[in-house]
Amino acid sequence: MRRTAHTPGGRLSVRVDPGTAYRVGYRPEPWAWTPWQYADTATGRFGGRWDDSNGLFRTVYAGASLLGCLLEVLARFRPDPLLAADLGLVVVDDQDAVEHPTVPPGAVPTSWLTPRAATRATLSGAYCVVADLGSIPTLRSRFLHTALGHGLGDLDAGALRLSAPRGLTQQVATWLYDLDVEPFGRLDGIQFDSRHGDRLTLWAIFERPGPQDQPVSARLGEIEELELTPDHPQLRRTFRTLGLTWHQSRD
């Protein structure tokens, strides 16, 4: 359900208690916050689209469908058509092919699945729908100059959906994290759309103060692990969509 939240600077559209959420993460706890040791050593910040611009809190990302999650985490393996064409012109002799094998474009090592797990949970809380008509005017009034400073022409839904520059979306996330809105108080995160297709809803869940060493967000319940094998229908669909193939790992 979407509701309207009121701030001193205007209104925001908020999704309340989204329900079923999926994530593909690392075992043994796929929903765990990423350890701080993996933050950028120079800035102390994480590089995700909706991570904190100050490096003071963490986020964990989830999707309304397993397909949306798989597209997000596997998109980096997509083949570059121009690079693939250039590689096709390279002549490799048999000995080099054996001694120095190359990984074909779009190949995913079979070891990719080993440390990862697919999970499903029930997500509660209040999430700002940043690209909604009810949120854009408020965000534009506050972040238009930020967008222009990053070389963008405007602060609109298109700008918020870009993968870069992430300085803009991270500053939006930091502002929303500190915001106190009526009638919800502090927001629990952000709802946004995947760049890989319309109607692929994603969430960035904010880390909030809670019990010491709390491994996952308190907004997650009924967590269960799902079987994820190369033959899983959503994984196969992801591979078809992104043009991927499995490649035998050399471990």
Confidence at residue 105, expressed as pLDDT on a 0 to 100 scale: 82
User: Are residues 105 and 79 in contact, defined by beta-carbon separation less than 8 angstroms?
Assistant: yes
pLDDT, tens only, 123-140: 999 999 999 999 999 999
Mean pLDDT of 201-221: 90
pLDDT, tens only, 64-112: 999 999 999 999 999 876 544 444 544 545 544 444 455 678 999 999 9
- What 8-state DSSP symbol labels residue 17? -
Residue 251's pLDDT band (cuts 50, 70, 90): low
User: Are residues 51 and 173 in contact, defined by beta-carbon separation less than 8 angstroms?
Assistant: yes
Q: Which residue ranges make up each domain of the chain? A: 2-247
pLDDT > 70? residue 207? yes
Confidence at residue 82, expressed as pLDDT on a 0 to 100 scale: 52
CA distances from 119 to 62, 146, 219, 227, 228 (A): 10, 36, 15, 8, 9
State the DSSP string of 128-143.
EETTSTTTHHHHHHHH
pTM of the model: 0.89
pLDDT > 80? residue 195? yes
